[in-house]
Amino acid sequence: MVEDTQKPNYFENFKTEIKLRGYSHNTLESYVYTIDNFLKFTKKSPQDITETDIKNYLVYLQQGKNATNTTIHRHLNAIKSFFRITKNIVADNIKLPKVSQKLPGFLTIEETQKLLTSIENLRDRAIIQLLYACGMRVSELVDMNRENIEGNNIKIIDGKGSKDRIVYADEGTLKKIKNYLRTRNDNNPAIFINLKKERLTQRSIQRIVKYYSEQCGITKTVTPHTLRHSFATHLLQNDADIMIIKELLGHSNLATTQIYMHVTNKRKENIYTKAHPLSTKKIN
């Protein structure tokens, strides 16, 4: 960490600004950690940083830390945000090659059914089914309280980017949650708790998803985010409006949602083959 005597107000100002701009807590912590390490590397005060210092740091990440292009982009974004907030344009002209967007992994409908039907534990089935039913982030599920469920509406409070939204769950999923809650005799407001009657952590839920996917013989790597990807993919496959999916996922930008469009390409080809007059030989 940078010595406290070297970083008085600018760190607090930076944290305050990114909070006001709606950045999530995780992003805030990541950015502060990045800037702290960057300043430690340069051994300079922010006002003395040059463009060369920033480039040297990025080279250090690439060659000294074997960082991926995605990681280097993330560090540069944090640095750019920091200097823009401090009214310094030193980082604005630094460009990096675009990172190719990785297609999300997802389960087929058959794999999803296989996973869900293999779980006998009431709590764990409710956890995994809710992740898939609503497409919520694991952080959002961890933060959920009983009061967030009203009918078949589930209110996601202060999701990524500090945006509240409403998602929906089917009757079967809601029934499983209610059956699980009936087994509880505690006052913890959290929807899901551990044996110590404490709110489950993201890490615990990740382990639960991994365990059951391996137990039922799915060879893909399955995480809570895989279930979120599966949610979006299956809705698209069944002709759901991409703008509605965007809202359900809590995306700020439609481009983020459009990555799921890859799964419909084969389907579009089939529709074309069946419908276009040249393909159906209605025009010779």
Annotated domain spans of the chain: 4-85, 109-269
pLDDT value at residue 3: 46
Residues with catalytic function: 137, 160, 225, 228, 251, 260
Topology adopted by domain 109-269: hpI Integrase; Chain A (1.10.443)
pLDDT value at residue 90: 86
> Can you spell out the DSSP letters for the chain?
---GGG-SHHHHHHHHHHHHTT--HHHHHHHHHHHHHHHHHHTS-GGG--HHHHHHHHHIIIIIS---HHHHHHHHHHHHHHHHHTT--TTTT---PPPPPPPPP---HHHHHHHHHT---HHHHHHHHHHHHH---HHHHHH-BGGGEETTEEEE-S-TTS--EEEE--HHHHHHHHHHHHT--S---BSSB-TTS-BPPHHHHHHHHHHHHHHTT--S---HHHHHHHHHHHHHHTT--HHHHHHHHT-SSHHHHGGGGGGGHHHHHHHHHHHSTTTTTS--
pTM, whole model, 2 decimals?
A: 0.66
Write out the chain's pLDDT in tens, 284 residues.
Answer: 444 444 457 778 888 888 777 777 778 888 888 998 999 999 998 889 999 999 999 999 989 888 888 889 889 989 998 888 877 888 888 888 776 666 668 999 999 999 999 999 999 999 999 999 999 999 999 999 999 999 888 998 765 655 788 899 999 999 999 999 999 999 999 999 999 999 999 999 999 999 999 999 999 999 999 999 999 989 988 888 888 888 898 887 777 777 777 656 666 676 677 777 776 666 65
pLDDT value at residue 67: 86
pLDDT value at residue 263: 59
CATH number of 4-85: 1.10.150.130
